[in-house]
Amino acid sequence: MGRSETVLDDLVRSIRLSPKYKYVAPEFIRSVGKIELTRRGNLKAAVKATKNKLHQIAGAYLPGRMAYDVWLRRLADATRSADPGVLRSTCVEIMHHHISTRERLPILDAFYATTLADLGPIHSVLDVACGLNPLAIPWMPLADRATYIAYDIYEDMVAFLSTFMGMVPVRGKAEVHDVLRYRPGEHVELALLLKTIPCLEQVDKEAGRRLLDAIDADHILVSFPAHSLGGRRKGMVAHYEESFYKLIEGRGYSVWRYEFASELAFLLSVR
Ligand SMILES: C[S@@+](CC[C@H](N)C(=O)[O-])C[C@H]1O[C@@H](n2cnc3c(N)ncnc32)[C@H](O)[C@@H]1O
């Protein structure tokens, strides 16, 4: 093993000691760490820079303790209720614990009903960098036993989501996967790229283009936040819209645009 590999092992180990990054996939920490180590040249500075990056793209969305075991018990109880409203309200409460997913809650009833109105029932979904969004499955126009594949970088989050998906009528799997390394996978009817592109582009400027190249889907729902995590709105919608149209230029999609109070969404359909 070369010296740089040993230094990277130390970097990953040191970052995973922090409770905040304990469950982040080691391969992902390693690939972010490698870039920072090349830039900074020493371990201490690279550890600090890697933590900052992980905060920006993942940690900042998880403001508190994730009580996955408690939530699974509550979800299991909710699925036993004859009233489907009980499951929905339990999902809403849990979705509050991921800031990006939380921001969608005030518009959740309209979000999937509007953007996916002409697609349902959908038989297969790929949810890229999903956060807690799979808990919104009860709001999506899915076929019974639809396939639902979800990826994120938190080991504990994907284990929770996999168990949750076993409780609702989908054939679901959530996996730890660094979507910056996503290669063309199985074909799906719908891919969700919700508020993912600006986040991933903080690590790799080409992330949006690469994902659009790699995803094999009839339709892709892409969205952008209408304000920053700090609440700043000025010019964000116009900025994201302009860069999005540049990104899809020449790809020949049919495009539908939807603007909600907290999110700007585009449904792309392959012609
Ligand atoms: C802005 S949030 C969006 C969450 C979700 N799509 C939503 O809109 O509710 C970004 C998510 O991407 C995840 N993430 C960041 N980098 C990733 C990567 N390289 N591969 C997979 N997931 C990643 C973070 O953990 C976080 O949950």
Is residue 179 in contact with ligand 1, taking CB distance under 6 Å?
A: yes
Q: Return the pLDDT at 223.
A: 98
- CATH number for the domain formed by residue range(s) 98-270: 3.40.50.150
From the CA of 132, how far away is ligand 1's center (Å)?
Answer: 9
Do residues 57 and 200 touch, judged by C-beta distance below 8 A?
A: yes
Displacement of CA 53 from its chain's centroid (Å): 16
Q: Would you say 174 and 185 are in contact if contact means Cβ atoms under 8 Å apart?
A: no
Domain ranges of the chain: 3-57, 98-270
From residue 256, how far is each of 66, 215, 245 by CA, in Å?
A: 35, 19, 12
27, 98, 179, best to mutate for ligand 1 pocket (most atoms within 8 Å of CB): 179
Q: Is 152 in the pocket of ligand 1 (CB under 6 A)?
A: yes
Structure confidence at residue 1 (pLDDT): 57
pLDDT at 4: 79
Distance 129 CA to ligand 1 centre (A): 4
Task: List the chain pLDDT tens, one digit each, 271 residues.
Answer: 567 789 999 999 999 999 999 999 999 999 999 999 999 989 999 999 999 999 999 999 998 999 999 999 999 999 999 999 999 999 999 999 999 999 999 999 999 999 999 997 999 999 999 999 999 999 999 999 999 999 999 999 999 999 999 999 999 999 999 999 888 788 999 999 999 999 999 999 999 999 999 999 999 999 999 977 666 767 889 999 999 999 999 999 999 999 999 999 999 999 7
E strand or H helix that includes residue 211: helix 207-214
Q: For atom 25 of ligand 1, which residue has the closest CA?
A: 58
Amino acid at 71: W
CB-ligand 1 contact for 151 (6 Å cutoff): yes
